[in-house]
Amino acid sequence: MATMASEEDKYFEVALGLVKSAGRMVRDAFDRPFSEVQTKASNTDLVTETDQNVEILLTRGLSDAFPDHQFIGEESAAAGKKIEFTDAPTWIIDPIDGTTNFVHRIPMICICVGLAVKKELRMGIVYNPITNELYTARTGQGAFKNGFRIYVSKTEELSKSVIASTLGIHNIVSQGPSWLDKSLSNARRQVEAGVRGIRSFGSAAINMVCVAQGSLDAYVEYGLHCWDVAAAAVILKEAGGVVIDPTGGEFNMMSRKVLCASTKELATQLSGMLTHANYEPEG
């Protein structure tokens, strides 16, 4: 019987090959005029044929290789597939993270593939095919960018941090209760006043891998889905970073919120500023 390690070597190898093929598909589409952009739940929630085709390529390829594995993917969920997270090996796929960037030809986009086994995240692949930046990690084996080890920054003070966040502007303001909107606006003002700089790249996973490689010091967001964060969370943890709930509790990728930081000290300061904006979404 194959050992867990060699089974996972195989999973990683197959997933990586498929992500690279998907990358070619995204790059080709990025260079061509778009045939069609559709909106889903709202005017800010876009999908293109490429999002759908990439998800098909990845899920077909992985299920051909591993017929008993399960899948959670953004565009299959949008098409009505029920999200079921079981103990089975489960691939969590965001075919394009940063679809708005993709549509606007802003080259901050990535393909995200994470794998959970017995509900524990085991590996993550985040690939920007436009800049050819490939981030990979497997639990216990470190995080890499194009094959080189990456590490988070050592920043402990908020005043020396460059952080990423929109504090859920589009995700929540339209869906959440009005007290939350107000609470996040206050938190945003407080955070903005306390940091060296604030950025948002329009892709949760790119924000997270930027923390993993030390170019950003923290990232906090509300309203995300598991496919936005699963792969990048493995990379960030393996780069030595902290991934928690914004309230300071344990990270749960199904909870639709995340706080990432380079150090525990920074995570604690940020979470202290955000607990009043606690958010428990329904879906």
Task: Kindly list the catalytic residues.
Answer: 74, 94, 96-97, 99, 228
- Minimum Å gap between C-beta 227 and Ca ion is 6
Q: Is residue 262 at the binding interface for ligand IPD, with CB under 6 A as the rule?
A: no
Q: Which residue has the tokens 């996972």?
A: 8
Residue 219 phi/psi, 5-degree rounding, is -150, 130
Residue by residue, DSSP assigns 129-190 as: TTTTEEEEEETTS-EEETTEE--------GGG-EEE--TTHHHHHTTS-HHHHHHHHHHHHH
Residue 136 binding result from ligand IPD, Ca ion, none, given CB thresholds of 5 to 8 Å by partner type: none
Pull the structure tokens for residue 272. Answer: 């202290």
Contact assessment for residue 132 and residue 228, using Cβ atoms and an 8 Å cutoff: no
Residue 223 binding result from Ca ion, ligand IPD, none, given CB thresholds of 5 to 8 Å by partner type: ligand IPD
Give me the helix-helix angle, 49-65 and 4-31, nearest 10°. 160
Which residues are paired to 113 by β-bridges? 93, 125
Give the strands of the sheet with 90-97, arranged side by side: 70-73, 90-97, 110-117, 120-128, 133-138, 143-145, 148-149
Q: Is residue 99 at the binding interface for ligand IPD, with CB under 6 A as the rule?
A: yes
Nearest residue to ligand IPD by CB is 204
* Residue 201: CB atoms within 10 Å: 20
Q: What gap in Å lies between CA 280 and CA 282, rounded to an integer?
A: 7
Q: Which of residues 82-121 bind Ca ion (CB under 5 A)?
A: 94, 96-97, 99
Q: Which stretch binds Ca ion (CB under 5 A): 23-31, 72-80, 241-249, 268-276?
A: 72-80
Nearest residue to Ca ion by CB is 97
111 is in an annotated binding site: no
The closest alpha carbon to 114, from 90, 144, 81, belongs to 90
28 is in an annotated binding site: no
Q: Is residue 58 at the binding interface for ligand IPD, with CB under 6 A as the rule?
A: no
Answer for which of 74, 217, 221, 238 binds Ca ion (CB under 5 A) is 74
- Minimum Å gap between C-beta 68 and ligand IPD is 27
Contact assessment for residue 158 and residue 195, using Cβ atoms and an 8 Å cutoff: yes
Q: Is residue 223 at the binding interface for ligand IPD, with CB under 6 A as the rule?
A: yes
Answer for which of 8, 217, 228, 238 binds ligand IPD (CB under 6 A) is 228
- Minimum Å gap between C-beta 99 and Ca ion is 5
74 is in an annotated binding site: yes
Residues that bind ligand IPD (CB under 6 A): 74, 94, 97-100, 166, 171, 202-204, 223-224, 228
Q: Which residues are annotated as a binding site?
A: 74, 94, 96-97, 228
Q: Which residues are annotated as a binding site for Mg(2+)?
A: 74, 94, 96-97, 228
Residues that bind Ca ion (CB under 5 A): 74, 94, 96-97, 99, 228
